Homo-oligomer: A and B are copies of this chain.
Amino acid sequence: MKIEKTKGTKDFYPKEKAIQNYIFNIWKSTALKFGYEEIEAPILEPLELYTEKSGQEIVGQMYVLEDKSGRKLALRPELTPSIARMVAQDKSLQKPLRWFSIPYCFRYERQQQGRSRQFSQFNVDLLGLKTMKADAEIIAITAETMKAFSCTEKEFTIGINNRKLINSIIENLKIKDKDYLYKLIDKKSKMPEEEFIKGLKDIKLTNDQIKSLNKLFSIKNIDELKSFKYDEDAFKEIKELFSLLKAYDVLKYCKLDLTIVRGLDYYTSTVFEVYDTEKEFRAIAGGGRYDNLVDIFGGDPCPGIGFGMGDVVLELFLRKLNKIPELSKQIDFFIATINVDKEAVEVAAKLRKKYNVELNLTDKNIKKQLDYANSIKAKNVLIIGEEEVKKKKVTLKDMKTGKESLISIDSLI
């Protein structure tokens, strides 16, 4: 009975898992560098955790099930609501909270490049601070993560916007159907100019309004905003944010991008996205400030800002740039055996006090065993046969020169 894996999911054989671990380790070490602590939430969450504030798109893609007691549960499609729930739930937590996590998330999406129905995400969140210093730290972590993968400012960009700012401008332009407009803006970079204009005309914008919007979305510098009417506080926020990003020495990766609005309903001011400069892939990471989510879930008010970076698009991007190093099995000693069992086991057991040791348990001939040792790039190779057992020694083989020397096992530990 042949059983195929679930469509849209991925098996991680050792090679694939090594790449995943390479990514996870960089994620983890970057978070630790900034003093963040790891947390983990359940994969199964109550359905209501998402229906409230995660936005239509995500809610429509959820895996939902009913448990035996009739409760409706969802496989989490994202982590932020769980974080807000955990913070709401434990009122003794000392703020600010610097948390990171590498959760599996699930979305039933159309199968395509850059998408997997089960994927991992690097989530970094800073809760309990309303100051832009928090936003700057979070965006700096995003930038440092990309840098840690050896990516440069030519390869990726962090586009930054502020929802309060863009909201105020749109309102001052007297545009009413904001939700529709944001959905259109969100897809702007993926559609031809004419289609975007057509979309604007569909909601009956005047030519003046369309002209203003086009001007707005071409802005690359905060000071160019002067010809628009905007919320002063939001403007100050984003000004301060960019000034702090300079102090973090990550300004060269960042740019103002007023087309970034993000699909999640819970963002309240700063929003940002990491994308490849060539815009070949979907967003590599996205995040923003969510100042109301904790109290929506019954907690004391607690502002927060965070981002998520998925493994699937990131890996595609790193592969394209050839930035994934060669990763091989870390074997310190491979022990080849010739008609010997127990004695080789004893040697392996001794060496394992200090080293990673792979012991041959097969009946393969010595040549095949050595070929295998070569293929896994074992750092050292020992041979144990009857001769060695008699002399209570082992043969150390230099795989480069082929030279063999009979040594005592105690000289190795």
Q: Are A37 and B98 in contact (CB under 8 A)?
A: no
State which size class the interface on A falls in.
35 or more
Query: Residues 209-221 of chain A: 1 if any B CB is under 8 Å from the residue's CB, otherwise 0?
Result: 0000000000000
Name the CB-closest residue of B to A83. Answer: B11
Query: Residues 340-375 of chain A: 1 if any B CB is under 8 Å from the residue's CB, otherwise 0?
Result: 011101100100100111110110000000001000
Does A197 sit within 8 A of B, measured CB to CB?
no
- Give the Cβ gap from A112 to chain B, nearest Cβ, in Å: 16
CB-contacts of A19-40 with B (<8 A): 20-21, 32-35, 37-40
A131 neighbours in B (Cβ, 8 Å): 361
Q: Are B32 and A356 in contact (CB under 8 A)?
A: yes
A94 neighbours in B (Cβ, 8 Å): 372
Does A41 sit within 8 A of B, measured CB to CB?
yes
Given contacts A5-B85, A349-B249, contact A17 B39 (CB under 8 A): yes
Does A222 sit within 8 A of B, measured CB to CB?
no
Q: Are A108 and B68 in contact (CB under 8 A)?
A: yes
Does A90 sit within 8 A of B, measured CB to CB?
yes
Given contacts A65-B65, A297-B2, A361-B137, contact A9 B42 (CB under 8 A): yes
Ordered nearest first, which 10 A-B pairs have the shortest CB separation? Answer: A35-B358, A2-B298, A9-B42, A14-B37, A65-B65, A12-B40, A247-B345, A247-B342, A133-B361, A17-B38
A binding-site residues for B, Cβ under 8 Å: 1-7, 9-14, 16-18, 20-21, 32-35, 37-46, 48-49, 52, 63-65, 67-69, 71, 73, 75, 85-86, 88-90, 93-94, 96, 98-99, 104, 106, 108, 117-118, 129, 131, 133-134, 136-137, 140, 144, 243-244, 246-249, 296-298, 329-331, 334, 341-343, 345-346, 349, 352, 355-359, 361-362, 372
